[in-house]
Structure 1
Amino acid sequence: MLTSTTSALPSDTIAAIATPQGRGAVALLRVSGPDALGVLHRIAPGIGEVRPRAQRLTALRHPESGELLDRGLVTYFAAPASYTGEDVLEIATHGGVLTPQLVLDALLAAGARAAEPGEFTRRAYLNGKLDLLQAEAVADLIDGRSRALHRAAVHQMERGLSRRVSELRDAVIGTEALIAYSIDFPEEDEPPVPPARIQASARDVIARIESLLATAPEGELLREGALTVLAGRPNSGKSSLFNALLGTERAIVTNIPGTTRDALEASVSVEGYPFRLVDTAGLRETGDVVEGIGIEVARRYLQAADLVLFCVEAGRSVDADEAAFMADIPADWLVLVRTKSDAHADALADADREMTDAVTVEVSAATGDGIAELRRALLRKAFGGILGEPGEAPLVTRERHARALRAARDEVAAFLDAMDAAVPMEFAATHLRDAVAALEGLVGAVSVDDVLDRVFGSFCVGK
């Protein structure tokens, strides 16, 4: 693992409730820092000797009043063999809202400081227990709502992406080594390492970075879900299709045009991959002020959409306005859904067959016919680049990752351009040094505090 280089390591002791508030059997509090044992003895004066990784049931008291707050189960993890790399306590109390809060108040009165969001994991990173990619994977494990993101996060926690980035860094350094070997023999007419070999090494690095970057569009969708907007004229079956895809009645369905006045959003998993479905108001000219606002909301969703399911009733041709609307949507985003197919045996009109750029699926929300095919079409459209990948394949799941990889790729490409322009090798090689820096920044080997604030600020308190 690359060593992180950041500001001075923290020297105080922090505490937080690590489980969500609410009624439950057990709550967990965490303490981390050099005075963790001292804090424990102040709230549990009768606990005696505490051995690492041995649980102790003890009375927990307020250090000032001596009031008995609860009996809790304490586990001690001695540094550096702990999550943060510091002395760590995990205190299990009875659940609920009041009891864990009273115990936390006692910990703070005993000398601990309230932890900030993500501070435990930040300390793990600062102490070399995790790299930055692994730390982000912790957040994805907590926040992830799909099996696909969970698989990617688990693999990232096991350093799958970190290893790939480290291999890329080593490859760039290997290219630098070839250059250094050539520079060491300036008196030779033919250097020991031919320029063509150095160029081939750099091109191989670029190809490997591009291969990893190719997973970025689908990888980023794993975190947020593919925004999938159902659009079409009023009464074209959008709300019925929305309910059918969800498997529950969320949208109001009537035969009165204009029933949907606002966008209705819900999350759904398709074979473990996340989608955010949005049912929108029917697109038409209207004098109704409220319906007009709903149509404007629909247009804003369409501008942000990753996928558009354009609904047209089966048994009729796509009209000119609908065709013009679909012409403005990139083919990669568009699925033409012929709805209400149960009412029309001749569902696909000739006009559809001429629309070679649009994937067309015939469905019936009433009978369920075609829904499975539509789900498969959604998977291919949104996640086609990673569907065949094994669960342990590394994925680029954040814009920060993609940005650093693009920077590294561009620097290696600039090195090749400099070689083509006959720039002296020692000057051209500065681009390779910048590529290494970009890759090291990705795993957090070289970091600045504002980057860490962005990464860990999204964590929950207690993690």
Structure 2
Amino acid sequence: MPISPLASDTIAAIATPPGRGAVALLRVSGPGAFGVLRRIAPGLDGIPPRTQRLVALRHPETGEVLDRGLVTLFPAPGSYTGEDTAEISTHGGVLTPQLVLDALLAAGARAAEPGEFTRRAYLNGKLDLLQAEAVADLIDGRSRALHRAAVHQMERGLSRRIEELRGAVISAESLIAYSIDFPEEDEPPVPPERVRAAVADVLRRIEALLATAPEGELLREGALTVLAGRPNSGKSSLFNALLGTERAIVTEIPGTTRDALEASVTLDGYPFRLVDTAGLRDTADRVEGMGIEVARRYLAAADLVIFCIESGREPGDDDRAFLAGRDPARTVVVRTKSDLHPVEAADEAAIAIPSVSIAATEGTGLPALRDRLLQLAFGHILGDPGEAPLVTRERHARALRHARDEIASFIAALDEQVPMELAATHLRAAAGAMEDLIGAVTVDDVLDRVFGDFCVGK
């Protein structure tokens, strides 16, 4: 449900995953947080902020002791949310934390919505919107590269870059406004070339940020990498070798793989989603045919394709036809089973895309394949220590594209001799797009989308 930015109630939630464990953490936040807590844990008076105290936790209506836990108080504004906040560490498991949460709700709190603690932190000025999204990436991220990018974003790396770009646009607006408002001042009017040069520099810097968007978004989802080729071309063996485990059934019988098998893997800290698919061929087998149709759907959506051709076999017309329709910047040809058959130079000449020779059972050629995949999927950001801003979400890219297009329209208007004061409306729109990106001015439906995917308790 939408949450009013003026919400004044007190919320509570379990902040750790359910299940068997040593410790569980509960959070309470809001103007009545400390009052709610005292109803279930009498005797908290005098506890210093940020100091843990071991107390008995009781149900406020029955007085039943539910657990003994550690309580920490974080008075406003020095808390994560900017409100009075308390954290309660209880024994883990499923039942005990839930009983303590029920006691908090009975004492006057309400159950928090997904992402509501971080949403309140944003509304109270503790985080900007980009930092709030970085919190979600830190929680959900499964690769070292995304973790580095999220930490940098949490430290306002991307926020500072957007603020700099927005400030440069506003400076250009102010130069135009000065020429309009004070035309008779002693200083000469601001030369249009100065404004154009400043705005062109902003446009260049926005384009540089947008260049990281394809790889940045792949950091969150993983590069969808589909293994394709004829039946018995070594796809499943290669799939297992890249994973380092036996996930796919490998036999010498063509058509063994009847469905797509997907698994996640990180290569040098970068995420990939590997998909082993049915061999591509004409078949009268209905079940195998369904598997081939699934393979074609994955291929249509793939970020990368690994096309397998056995070493020692001349590429056929169907192989060449498949590769002719693929983007070389998104395709790797792998000559499999190189331990059994050499790769002939004539066979290589028949393929326009350079190949990598692999012996999956021995691991030969796997490092070269990993390097090729990393370069194709993450070439623009590969090896970045995480200190340069990255665009990691479609929302970021959409706002930056809007700003870029408005600035380009401003420059085009100048070329068409449109008065600068009229063309400046494009600069105001560009600044507004960046304000929306960082959360300086954001409507509720945008906030609902940003925080709706958070876990409860964060």
TM-score (norm 1): 0.96
CA distance in 2, matches of 1:160, 1:349: 49
Q: Does 1:412 align with 2:407?
A: yes
Q: Which residue of 2 aligns with 1:222?
A: 219
Match of 1:342, SS state, is: coil
Among candidates 333, 343, 348, match of residue 347 of structure 1: 343
Does the CA-based 8 Å contact 2:183-2:189 persist in structure 1?
A: no
- How much has 1:427 moved relative to structure 2? 1.0
- How much has 1:418 moved relative to structure 2? 1.2
Residue identity in the other structure for 2:135:
V
Equivalences for residues 278-297 of structure 1 within 5 A = 278-297=275-294
Among candidates 71, 94, 115, match of residue 112 of structure 2: 115
Range with greater deviation from structure 2 (232-241 or 318-327):
318-327
Q: Which residue of 1 aligns with 2:382?
A: 387
Residue identity in the other structure for 1:355:
I
- How much has 1:179 moved relative to structure 2? 1.1
Match of 1:268, SS state, is: strand
Among candidates 294, 298, 303, match of residue 300 of structure 2: 303
CA distance in 1, matches of 2:106, 2:286: 58
Does the CA-based 8 Å contact 1:334-1:359 persist in structure 2?
A: no
Does the CA-based 8 Å contact 1:338-1:348 persist in structure 2?
A: no
CA distance in 1, matches of 2:328, 2:170: 41
Q: Which residue of 2 aligns with 1:256?
A: 253
Equivalences for residues 5-154 of structure 1 within 5 A = 8-154=5-151
Does the CA-based 8 Å contact 1:286-1:292 persist in structure 2?
A: yes
CA distance in 2, matches of 1:351, 1:178: 64
Match of 2:34, SS state, is: helix
Q: 1:430 to 1:7 in 2, by over 3 A?
A: farther
Residue identity in the other structure for 2:453:
S
CA distance in 1, matches of 2:316, 2:188: 69
CA distance in 2, matches of 1:46, 1:145: 42
CA distance in 2, matches of 1:311, 1:416: 49
- How much has 1:359 moved relative to structure 2? 3.3
Q: Which residue of 2 aligns with 1:160?
A: 157
Among candidates 393, 397, 402, match of residue 397 of structure 2: 402
- How much has 1:185 moved relative to structure 2? 4.4
- How much has 1:423 moved relative to structure 2? 1.4
CA distance in 2, matches of 1:47, 1:410: 57
Match of 1:336, SS state, is: strand
Among candidates 170, 176, 179, match of residue 179 of structure 1: 176
Q: Does 1:325 align with 2:322?
A: yes
CA distance in 2, matches of 1:189, 1:328: 65
CA distance in 2, matches of 1:224, 1:271: 16
Q: Does 1:361 align with 2:376?
A: no
- How much has 1:353 moved relative to structure 2? 3.0
- How much has 1:8 moved relative to structure 2? 3.6
Q: Which residue of 2 aligns with 1:445?
A: 440
Residue identity in the other structure for 2:280:
L
Q: 1:322 to 1:189 in 2, by over 3 A?
A: farther
Residue identity in the other structure for 2:205:
R
Match of 1:181, SS state, is: helix
- How much has 1:329 moved relative to structure 2? 1.1
Does the CA-based 8 Å contact 2:320-2:351 persist in structure 1?
A: no
- How much has 1:456 moved relative to structure 2? 0.3
Does the CA-based 8 Å contact 1:71-1:93 persist in structure 2?
A: yes
- How much has 1:159 moved relative to structure 2? 0.2
Q: Does 1:432 align with 2:427?
A: yes
Cα deviations by residue, 1:392-426 (Å, 9 ceiling, x for unpaired): 11100000000000100111111111111111211
Residue identity in the other structure for 2:351:
M
Does the CA-based 8 Å contact 1:239-1:279 persist in structure 2?
A: yes
Q: 1:359 to 1:122 in 2, by over 3 A?
A: farther
Q: Which residue of 1 aligns with 2:365?
A: 370
Does the CA-based 8 Å contact 1:229-1:280 persist in structure 2?
A: yes
Give unmatched runs, 5+ long, in structure 1.
1-5
- How much has 1:47 moved relative to structure 2? 3.1
CA distance in 1, matches of 2:185, 2:93: 77
Does the CA-based 8 Å contact 1:185-1:191 persist in structure 2?
A: no
Q: 1:188 to 1:121 in 2, by over 3 A?
A: closer
CA distance in 1, matches of 2:44, 2:192: 69
Range with greater deviation from structure 2 (286-295 or 190-199):
190-199
Cα deviations by residue, 1:131-167 (Å, 9 ceiling, x for unpaired): 0000000000000000000000000000000000001
Q: Does 1:244 align with 2:241?
A: yes
Match of 1:321, SS state, is: helix
Q: Which residue of 2 aligns with 1:3?
A: none
Does the CA-based 8 Å contact 1:317-1:349 persist in structure 2?
A: no
Q: Which residue of 1 aligns with 2:269?
A: 272
Range with greater deviation from structure 2 (409-418 or 185-194):
185-194
Q: How many residues align?
A: 456
Match of 1:83, SS state, is: coil
CA distance in 1, matches of 2:186, 2:301: 59
- How much has 1:351 moved relative to structure 2? 3.5
